[in-house]
Structure 1
């Protein structure tokens, strides 16, 4: 999830663990704990594109990290914060660290919670930024913050924030189940033969959902809003995996394909190949749009293959928000 959401969650968890004893300092250190796992983004900048992607939401988002570094940070904090024991600070940091990847596991990218095992959990039931999850949560947290540490209202407001946000998360799981069934029914009614389907919410909401559908030679992409009254339409994107040719045997390309979990297409522009990661969708919800949110340029120079992420166009991102608002309202 986005940084603000993780800060809010970390602060609320910190308050639940130690707020009654140390007041707002529990929120402060909880917020810090909620931020630390995402420092892997900055570590990734020291490496090439593919390695950075492999590092992201790996070690720092694991149970191992939460246990080991929870104790380390707890001990460090206890050296100058004497109002709670080392064990209590360690417990606060542990819960701040572990709830971060648990929340991230509900997004499309997922988390390697069981690192070093190569298992990435990705439930894909909430977008990385969802105001309906974050804003009510933040409001309750702020209400709690301005109460004294001994106040019953403080604990009540904080608990309400945790309950409301968790209830919304549960609701997105239920909606995912409903929309998944809708996509299956649409595919069956249209006689489309497919081998696999995955669904996820579109940006900033849990009302409009998209589906990636694998067929023999192409991937189909369709959208369904809870307000739709017409049948779902699917748009075809050829796999074109054959275009990789000899690049198929390159270690970097293999690693990139592994990162996509096999959900990718290959496109060619001006004799340059691009690998498009389907998992994160397109920069528009309009029919047959061609630009993917995550696309990687593959080039070869002096027998060295280079993979670079294609920068996203901000203007198209702005247009996406406008298109989303229209499409959410139904077809």
Structure 2
């Protein structure tokens, strides 16, 4: 999830664990702990794109990381804070750290919660930024901060915020299941034979859902809004995996395919190869658009070394996507 959401979650968890003892300091340290796992993003400055993608939401988003570092942070804070309970501080950091990857596990990218096992947990029920999850949570956290440490309202407001956010997260599973039923029904009605289907919410909401459907030669992309009155249509995108040629044996290419869970297409434009990660969809909703959110130029140097160079996205792309989404959410 986005940084603000993780700060709010960490702060609320910190308050729940130690707010009655240290007041707003529990919120402060919970917020700090809630951001720590995402420090792995700095790996992109020291390694190649594929390695950075593999590292992201890896070790720092695991149970192992929370167990190892919670007592370290707890000990450091207990050394200089007036409240000296090492166990209590460690408990605060553990819960603020572990809830971060648990929440991230609900997004499309997922987390390696069980690192070092090579398992990425991704429920794909919520987009990385969802105002319906974050804003009510934030409001009740702010109300909590303005209450006295021993006030019953403090515990009440924080509890309401945690309850609403958790209930909404649970609701996203129900919404995903309902959307999946609609996609599967449409595929059956249109007599489409498919191998696998993968769905996820579109940006900023859980009303409009996107589907990737794998067939033998192509991927079908479709969308469904709970306000739709017409049937679901699917756009076909050829896999073009054969365009990789011998590159399919390259270790970095294999890692990239594993990272995208096999959901990818290849385009050849002006003798240049581009790798499209289908899991995050398109930057617009135009028919047969090739403007994928995550599109990489496959650069092969004179020595045969392979590098994936992410194609830049512009503010114009984002603005166009928001306009398209708003219109599409309202139904077809």
**TM-score range relative to shorter protein:** over 0.9
In structure 2, the partner of 1:328 is 329
In structure 2, the partner of 1:267 is 267
Aligned positions of 1:191-202 closer than 5 A: 191-202=191-202
CA shift digits 1:64-122 (9 cap, x unpaired) = 00011001000011000131400000000000000000000000000000000000000
Contact kept in structure 2, 1:22 and 1:84, CA below 8 Å: no
In structure 2, the partner of 1:118 is 118
Distance apart, 1:287 and its partner CA: 2.6
User: Is the aligned partner of 1:312 residue 2:313?
Assistant: yes
SS at match of 1:273: strand
Query: How much is the aligned-residue C-alpha RMSD, in angstroms?
Result: 0.7
CA shift digits 1:109-162 (9 cap, x unpaired) = 000000000000000000000000000000000000000000000000000000
**Gapped runs of 5+ residues in structure 2?**
none
**Cα distance in 1 for residues equivalent to 2:299 and 2:128:** 30
In structure 2, the partner of 1:89 is 89
Please list every run of at least 4 consecutive aligned residues from structure 1 whose deviation after the TM superposition is greater than 4 angstroms: none
In structure 2, the partner of 1:109 is 109
User: Is the aligned partner of 1:6 residue 2:32?
Assistant: no
**Cα distance in 1 for residues equivalent to 2:56 and 2:44:** 7
CA shift digits 1:262-286 (9 cap, x unpaired) = 0000001111101100001000123
Distance apart, 1:320 and its partner CA: 0.3
In structure 1, the partner of 2:245 is 245
**Gapped runs of 5+ residues in structure 1?**
none
Give the structure-2-normalised TM-score. Answer: 0.99
Contact kept in structure 2, 1:125 and 1:173, CA below 8 Å: yes
Contact kept in structure 1, 2:48 and 2:307, CA below 8 Å: no
Deviates more, 1:305-314 or 1:271-280: 305-314
CA distance 1:137–1:3, change in 2 (3 Å): same
Q: How many residue pairs end up in the alignment?
A: 331
**Cα distance in 2 for residues equivalent to 1:77 and 1:154:** 23
User: Is the aligned partner of 1:286 residue 2:286?
Assistant: yes
